[in-house]
A and B are shown apart, each in its own frame.
Chain A
Amino acid sequence: MATGTPTNGPGDAALSSDSGTEEVRLEQFQYDDGIVRLFATATIVWGIVATLVGLIVAVLLVLPSITGGLPWFSFARLRPLHTNAAIFAFAGNGIFAAVYYSTQRLCKARMWSDVLSRMHFWGWQLVIVSAAITLPLGITQSREYAELEWPIDILIAVVWLFIFGGNFLMTLIKRRERHMYVALWFYIATIVTVALLHVFNNLVIPAGWFKGYSIYAGVQDAFMQWWYGHNAVAFFLTTPFLGLMYYFLPKAAERPVFSYKLSIIHFWSLVFIYIWAGPHHLHYTALPEWASTIGMLFSLMLWMPSWGGMINGLLTLRGAWHKVAADPVLKFFVVGVTFYGMSTFEGPMLSIKSINAFTHYTDWTIAHVHAGALGWNGFMVFGMLYWMLPRLFQTKMWSEKLVSLHFWTGTIGILLYIIPIYAAGLMQGWMWRAMDDTGHLMYPDFIETTQSIVPLWWLRVVGGVLYVSGMLMLGLNAMMTWMGRPAEYENPVHTAPRLSKSYVDHTPTPTSPIDDAPVLELGKKVSIWSQMGWHRRWERLPVRFTVFTTIAVVVATLFEVIPTFLIRSNVPTIATVKPYTPLELAGRHIFVSEGCYNCHSQMIRPIVSETKRYGEYSKPGEFIYDRPFQWGSRRIGPDLAREGGKQSSFWHWTHFENPENVSPGSVMPAYGHLLTEDMNYDAIAPHVKVAAYLGAEYTEEDLNNTAEVAYKQAEYIAADIVAQGGPAKAYEKQAIALIAYLQRVGVDLFATEEPAATEEPAAPEAVEGEEAETTEEVADGDFTPEASSEDAAAK
């Protein structure tokens, strides 16, 4: 190794070719640490933002009125912002910092294209900023971790697959180290699978620049979303971090990985199994039983490879435990890997149907994901950053004591966060299903179950404050370290021969130990094949390795997807279930925009306590027009699957105005803006057109005079509200559409089919009589149809 600048620029440069053969051609190159510095800085900045927003949403749960009803800062809009920031901004940039640092070293090559590296960085930051703007504005798909709307999704696909993936794969192809180390395999699996998940989960038909409707509906949408959602955990929050672990842990411990063989088994088992596990998020829902069983079975099996990885990580420290006591970097890694072990033990347990029935929708899930995110992802990133920062900034860490303080603050913060939330989950689970001797619910008012866990939510705020303080310590330490950097970074030049295109494997041709035995030739061939020389070859061929990784993932996916999508019987239709009216569709759009799924599920499971509390359990055929599905994953408020007709329209109006007026002790914020902001009836048409395009049956009137049809329904609901003592002209406001939707949810199952039209038309008198009756009701409500017609015409 030499130090200096290569004569042919910052990238690769041929040094000599004296013999004229490729094998001995020497090349000079430098690693691009500038891009790593950018990603590392972004990781810290977005880490602070993500955890701060997390703290804010934790506070909003205990003090729901603190923002004074500002829609952009409501819990349901900020919570997705927090998860997106934590996953894609903090963990994402951390992953990229790890990939760009380790890939170059493992490949002994600079990244293939500096331009693509920079495009990747700025493109990804553009995605994050777009998310930070659109989510608080209510522009969302309301599908967990896939909230961003289609223009941003396209940007993500381009940045991830073509810019990042292309640059990475080309670097692998142009590498100078023959063997691809296992960390690179995990990066390959990450890039391929995330691209696959992202593209297929986000196939939508646009209804404008800020709205797209999923091509999947109901059960199929739920299946696709959790295939995506669980594998986002698998291939965004697990595999890249395992790659990170396999590179940075040996580096920090100065020990080779404990067992390379175990890492191979770990890799293939994980890649093969993880993709099947998503359906465990849908136990006892309308998902077919066989898919749910596969999800549980494979989730349970995941425990083994996950622990294989954990054990491999911890045992890498074998003989170096004395260093752990002194080195905070190793402490971060040890706690991070331990949390990985805990989370991957807990995950399979939670996938067992009977356990899942208890924990699903409770805060237990929240504790589980935070144990993984704060402990595993957070601490692995911190460990990596504290190891890298002195090397990237080429100076000592500003304060080692602050690193140590961050470690302890973060650890205590995590514990103070998760322990109360586990307790909250347990309390919810028990209270929701508790029944007295007479078979009645002991806590029939849902609000009781929420209020009882509020003190535990306060403890979480304290834990969150500690974790955020740790993040701020990291930020301060990194900034001060950066300020102490040299005037000019040293940029070592490495010299190495390029890899020859035709590799001659000098290992002897494999022979079978049963060559001389009197067995079939086939047996001898199998014996040679089982020596896995073919796999050693794959490990030298990045394109082929990528293809086989893709096949492993796709095969498992197809196993579940094909039957789910091709068999009509998986989603039996119900004759009385009809498409939403234009106004209801607009109301559903508001429901989705406001992120109501963050607190309210729409899925009653066939569990006694749930049917007693909410009503008849949900059927698959009820959701065939639901794009996106809104089954939710957590209940801060009660389930809404049978909400239609339960409360009066005025009750809903009052509930939006101030939930405490009708539900004392509610932790739901006021949605006053829905009562003051006007409804844009002309904007409904594109939604109806897309719904019709996707198969919902609408009349010509619905399609051509959408605004008028919606307005007419709004007038009736507004009149109803007036009749109940509510304000006049409610039909002008957005709340009216949301009320129309809520009054429709779950009622179709019990609707009676309209009798077939008789041959003789109804007597005109009878029709007039009906109209007169309706008019009378409207007049009672201080509402004249003449006036409404004029208004409709005006609009």
Chain B
Amino acid sequence: MIRDLVSALDYSMFAELALALFVVAFATMTYGTLRLSKNASDRFASIPLSDDVEDPRP
């Protein structure tokens, strides 16, 4: 069945479909990332600076 399904597809559109898929995923991720709070972002960015556990954790 999948063979029939794929046979019916127009391959010339695959590049455009792939691009659209990426744009949607990229836009979603970028939008969401930009909404990450500065506090959280700074905290996460500093994780590698200390090899010790901060306790109590923020």
Contacts and interface: CB of A to CB of B under 8 A. Distances in A.
Interface of A: 1, 31, 102, 105-106, 108, 176-179, 181-183, 246-247, 250-251, 254, 256-257, 259-261, 263-265, 268-269, 272-273, 276, 288-291, 293-294, 297-298, 301, 494-497, 530-532, 535-536, 555-556, 559-560, 562-563, 566-567
B58 to A, nearest CB: 10
Contact of B48 (A251, A289, A536, A566): A251
Residue picked from B3, B15, B40, B47, most chain A C-beta under 10 Å: B47
Contacts of A106: 47-48
B29 A250 contact: no
Contacts, number: 123
Contacts of A257: 45, 48
Contacts of A298: 18, 22
A598 B39 CA distance: 53
Given A532-B35, A563-B6, A273 B49 contact: no
A179 B15 contact: no
A566 B11 CA distance: 13
Contacts of B29: 264-265, 268-269
B53 A494 contact: yes
B46 A256 contact: yes
A1 B48 contact: no
Interface residues of B, number: 40
A182 to B, nearest CB: 8
27 contacts: A105-B51, A176-B53, A181-B48, A250-B45, A250-B48, A251-B49, A256-B42, A257-B45, A260-B36, A260-B41, A260-B45, A261-B34, A264-B29, A264-B33, A265-B29, A268-B29, A276-B18, A288-B11, A290-B15, A297-B19, A298-B18, A494-B52, A494-B53, A530-B31, A530-B35, A531-B35, A536-B40
Residue picked from B17, B35, B53, most chain A C-beta under 10 Å: B53
A496 B14 contact: no
Contact of A108 (B3, B21, B45, B53): B53
Contacts of A301: 19, 22
B11 A290 contact: yes
Q: Which 5 A-B pairs have the closest CB atoms?
A: A532-B32, A496-B53, A256-B45, A290-B11, A260-B45
A260 B42 contact: yes
A181 B17 CA distance: 32
B33 A261 contact: yes
Contact of A272 (B3, B7, B15, B22): B22
A159 to B, nearest CB: 27
Contacts of B19: 297, 301
Contacts of B52: 1, 494
A562 B2 contact: yes
Given A268-B25, A273-B22, A566 B2 contact: yes
A261 B41 contact: yes
Contacts of B40: 536
Contacts of A566: 2-3, 6-7
Task: Classify the secondary structure of A's interface with B.
Answer: helix
Nearest to B17: A559
Contact of B33 (A102, A297, A532): A532
A563 B36 contact: no
A183 B48 contact: yes
A263 B30 CA distance: 11
Contacts of A289: 12
Nearest to A251: B48
A272 B18 contact: no
Given A102-B48, A261-B36, A264-B33, A563 B14 contact: yes
Contacts of A102: 48
A508 B32 CA distance: 17
A744 B43 CA distance: 65
Contacts of B55: 496-497
Given A181-B44, A294-B18, A297-B15, A256 B49 contact: yes
A612 B31 CA distance: 53
Nearest to A248: B48
Given A495-B53, A530-B28, A562-B6, 17 more contacts: A106-B47, A177-B53, A179-B44, A181-B47, A246-B48, A250-B49, A254-B49, A259-B41, A272-B22, A294-B18, A297-B19, A298-B18, A530-B31, A531-B35, A556-B18, A563-B11, A567-B6
B19 to A, nearest CB: 6
A495 B54 CA distance: 10
Contact of B12 (A246, A290, A494): A290
Contact of B14 (A176, A261, A294): A294
A176 B26 CA distance: 31
Contacts of A176: 53
Nearest to A304: B26
A251 B48 CA distance: 7
Nearest to B19: A297
Nearest to A298: B18
Contact of B32 (A181, A290, A531, A555): A531
Residue picked from B21, B22, B44, B52, most chain A C-beta under 10 Å: B44
Given A260-B42, A559-B18, A566-B3, A272 B32 contact: no
A298 B14 CA distance: 12
A532 B36 contact: yes
Residue picked from A105, A264, A496, A536, most chain B C-beta under 10 Å: A264
A177 B34 CA distance: 24
Nearest to A305: B26
A102 B14 CA distance: 40
Contacts of A555: 21
Nearest to A495: B53
Contacts of B41: 259-261
A179 B47 contact: yes
Residue picked from B28, B31, B48, most chain A C-beta under 10 Å: B48
Contacts of A559: 14, 17-18, 21
A303 to B, nearest CB: 13
Nearest to A534: B32
Nearest to A293: B15
Residue picked from A176, A290, A297, A560, most chain B C-beta under 10 Å: A290
A261 B17 CA distance: 27
A288 B14 CA distance: 12
A353 B12 CA distance: 16
A496 to B, nearest CB: 4
A725 B5 CA distance: 60
A259 B29 CA distance: 15
A619 to B, nearest CB: 18
A260 B3 CA distance: 43
Residue picked from B25, B29, B49, B51, most chain A C-beta under 10 Å: B51
A290 B14 CA distance: 7
A182 B41 CA distance: 11
A779 B50 CA distance: 85
A268 B52 CA distance: 28
A559 B30 CA distance: 23
Nearest to A276: B18
A238 to B, nearest CB: 18
A113 to B, nearest CB: 21
A603 to B, nearest CB: 21
A297 B7 CA distance: 23
Contacts of A259: 41, 45
Contacts of A263: 45
